[in-house]
């Protein structure tokens, strides 16, 4: 088996047994990255730095260091600041930005021994559902390069699915780990809000943004999440919980289960609102097939209801733009970001400073970012705050309460990740609302701050991947990972890969 076909856990074993070296694997993957630049997954590749880190990892292995992630290559979504690589957030506003420090997630994965190959493409400031909002180039879906890989972590998803790297970091504000994972046939998990530090993650919507891993399997995600998570005093939203070994927790839950029934006793809730008539038939059939497999493994399916599911779209698209309007105000050409070179207009009634602000932001931000800033500024303005933003926050609490009512009847909630398989590049470019509606099944868990994940559940029309979404109660990532791992032990959907890669 070629090194690029190995998962994180398989690579870890190969490195431990010395059947492969980190330098060999890293050099092999760098060659594949170069050969598949047309995929648009990368914004920066650090060849020299990656090989240097790999050499150090091999030296540590030779001295008896057998940490599971030591020498394993990965890459970071370009929303995490990095001291050794440029950080753009997919925007021209930060085209020349270099951070003086690493994000906590980057720092912790480096401390675990991973080798960083560089930075991955994303929608500008993580705003988008297809990775078409990147200021540099859209990323493409390796299953069909005329289609989107999903967003905003589309570069991460495309690179993992194409076997350019075994794993990557992503962020999920309204579904940006789960949806691209679904569209590209990989596994991704958004943990409970606060489990992974937001320090050094360029903010879009501060009460929603959360980091998480994207990889081939639940087992891989558990290894990565163990390294990424934990309390960080530098992040005011970080959950004060001790570090967790999610891989060990996942394995522990298998102990004592009846033979062939690793999910015996698990109650899986199926919200009736997650299976509407608008759900594409190919997605519906694939999800139902995955649910049938879960039943074979001992799980019991329970009908539940999340009555405010449809309201999650207007609620999210009031709260998230409002927070984006506030967060992105710092990019004004003075403190951070692009500064226009020619902004003075002698005929303008505006001061030179105001002219500089306007021209710099107009040149630096893309159309979707401008749209969300305008929406957010409007809903926060005098006379509209109570009517829109405050009402949205009240509904957000009701959506969270709906989930708690469901968890009185079940342990895990399951359903589709997106209403359809990946759409064509440019297919929704003229209709931003159509992009927003594609997030209907991922937004509720994000608004509630709950953990959620996507795992492969077969294929839909045209052989394109379909994902199964699992949602757990607060800090129940171990249950989600255990459920996903049991399904992946019994099926091979997560091992399917696109042709040509």
Could you tell me the two tokens for 26? 């890293």
- Cα angle: 38, vertex 41, 46; to 5 degrees: 100
pLDDT at 251: 74
What is the spatial distance between Cα 346 and Cα 363, in angstroms, rounded to a whole number?
20
- Residue 321: in which H helix or E strand, if any? helix 312-327
pLDDT at 378: 95
Q: Does 77 qualify as catalytic in the annotation?
A: yes
pLDDT at 432: 82
What is the spatial distance between Cα 240 and Cα 338, in angstroms, rounded to a whole number?
36
Task: Find the catalytic residue in 9, 134, 153, 176.
Answer: 176
Half-sphere CA count of 266, side-chain side, radius 13 A:
29
Q: Does 152 qualify as catalytic in the annotation?
A: yes
pLDDT band at 114; cut points 50, 70, 90: very high
Task: Find the catalytic residue in 7, 77, 119, 129.
Answer: 77
Mean pLDDT of the chain: 95
pLDDT exceeds cutoff 80 at 243: yes
Closest CA to 364 of 341, 347, 380, 344: 341
Dihedral sign, Cα of residue 121, residue 127, residue 133, residue 136 = negative
267 φ, ψ (degrees, to nearest 5):
-100, 120
Could you tell me the two tokens for 279? 């759900």
Question: How far, in Å, are 26, 74, 115, 404, 455 from residue 217 at the CA level?
Answer: 20, 15, 19, 28, 8
Give the SS3 label for residue 376: helix
Task: Find the catalytic residue in 9, 91, 99, 152.
Answer: 152
Of all residues in the chain, the percent with pLDDT exceeding 90 is: 88
Give the SS3 label for residue 483: helix
What is the spatial distance between Cα 131 and Cα 163, in angstroms, rounded to a whole number?
19
Could you tell me the two tokens for 113? 């021994």
Half-sphere CA count of 340, side-chain side, radius 13 A:
19
Q: What is the mean pLDDT of residues 209-224?
A: 98
pLDDT at 96: 86
Of all residues in the chain, the percent with pLDDT exceeding 70 is: 99
pLDDT at 471: 98
Half-sphere CA count of 273, side-chain side, radius 13 A:
19
pLDDT in tens, 266-281: 999 999 999 998 899 9
pLDDT exceeds cutoff 90 at 250: no
What single DSSP character describes residue 410?
-
Q: What is the mean pLDDT of residues 186-211?
A: 98
Q: Does 217 qualify as catalytic in the annotation?
A: no
Numbers of helices and strands, H then E, in the chain: 16, 11
What is the spatial distance between Cα 233 and Cα 239, in angstroms, rounded to a whole number?
9
pLDDT at 335: 82
Q: What is the mean pLDDT of residues 223-242?
A: 96
How many Cβ atoms sit within 10 Å of the Cβ of residue 171? 26
Closest CA to 76 of 189, 153, 136, 143: 153
pLDDT exceeds cutoff 90 at 236: yes
Asked whether the whole model's pTM tops 0.75, one would answer yes
Name the least confident of 35-39, 194-198, 249-253, 397-401: 249-253
The β-bridge relationship of strands 300-304 and 267-271 is: parallel
pLDDT in tens, 340-394: 998 888 888 899 899 999 999 999 999 999 999 999 999 999 888 999 999 999 9
pLDDT at 253: 64
Sketch out the chain's domains with CATH numbers.
3-250 (3.90.1300.10)
pLDDT in tens, 305-329: 999 999 999 999 999 999 999 999 9
pLDDT band at 217; cut points 50, 70, 90: very high
pLDDT at 499: 94
pLDDT band at 256; cut points 50, 70, 90: low
Whether 91 contacts 119, CB under 8 Å: no
What is the spatial distance between Cα 342 and Cα 91, in angstroms, rounded to a whole number?
20
């Amino acid at each position: 088996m070629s090194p690029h076909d190995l998962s994180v856990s398989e690579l870890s074993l190969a490195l431990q047994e010395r059947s492969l070296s980190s330098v060999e694997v890293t050099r092999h993957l760098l060659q594949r990255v170069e050969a598949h630049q047309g995929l648009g997954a990368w914004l920066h590749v650090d060849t020299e730095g990656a090989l240097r880190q790999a050499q150090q990892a091999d030296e540590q292995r030779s001295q008896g260091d057998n940490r599971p992630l030591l020498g394993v290559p990965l890459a970071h979504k370009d929303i995490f600041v990095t001291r050794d690589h440029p950080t753009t957030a997919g925007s021209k506003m930060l085209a020349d930005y270099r951070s003086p420090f690493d994000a906590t997630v980057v720092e912790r994965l480096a401390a675990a021994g991973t080798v960083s190959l560089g930075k991955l493409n994303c929608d500008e400031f993580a705003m988008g559902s297809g990775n078409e909002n990147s200021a540099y180039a859209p990323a493409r879906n390796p299953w069909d390069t005329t289609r989107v890989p999903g967003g905003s972590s589309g570069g991460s998803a495309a690179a993992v699915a194409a076997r350019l790297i075994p794993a990557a970091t992503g962020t999920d504000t309204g579904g940006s780990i789960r949806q691209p994972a679904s569209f590209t046939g990989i596994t991704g998990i958004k943990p409970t809000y606060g489990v992974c530090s937001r320090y050094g993650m360029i903010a879009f919507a501060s009460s929603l943004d959360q980091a998480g891993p994207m990889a081939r399997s639940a087992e891989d995600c558990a290894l990565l999440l163990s390294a990424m998570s934990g309390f960080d005093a530098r992040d005011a939203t970080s959950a004060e919980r001790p570090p967790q070994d999610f891989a060990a927790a996942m394995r522990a839950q298998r102990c004592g289960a009846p033979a062939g029934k690793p999910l015996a006793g698990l109650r899986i809730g199926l919200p009736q609102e997650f299976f509407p008539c608008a759900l594409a038939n190919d997605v519906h059939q694939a999800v139902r097939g995955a649910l049938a497999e879960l039943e074979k493994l001992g799980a019991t399916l329970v009908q539940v209801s999340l009555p405010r599911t449809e309201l999650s779209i207007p609620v999210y698209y009031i709260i998230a733009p409002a927070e984006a309007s506030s967060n992105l105000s710092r990019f004004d050409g003075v403190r951070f970001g692009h500064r226009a070179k020619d902004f003075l207009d002698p005929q303008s009634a505006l001061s030179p400073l105001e002219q500089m602000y306007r021209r710099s932001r107009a040149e630096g931000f893309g159309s979707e970012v401008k749209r969300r800033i305008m929406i957010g500024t409007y809903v926060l303005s005098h006379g509209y705050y109570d009517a829109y933003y405050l009402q949205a926050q009240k509904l957000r609490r009701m959506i969270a309460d709906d989930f708690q009512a469901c968890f009185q009847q079940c342990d895990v909630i399951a359903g589709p990740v997106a209403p359809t398989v990946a759409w064509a590049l440019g297919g929704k470019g003229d209709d931003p609302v159509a992009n927003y509606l594609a997030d209907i099944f991922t937004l509720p868990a994000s608004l509630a701050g709950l953990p959620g994940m996507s795992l492969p559940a077969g294929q839909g029309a045209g052989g394109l991947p379909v994902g199964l979404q699992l949602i757990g109660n607060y800090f129940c990532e171990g249950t989600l990972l255990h459920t996903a791992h049991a399904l992946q032990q019994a099926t091979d959907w997560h091992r399917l890969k696109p042709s040509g890669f």
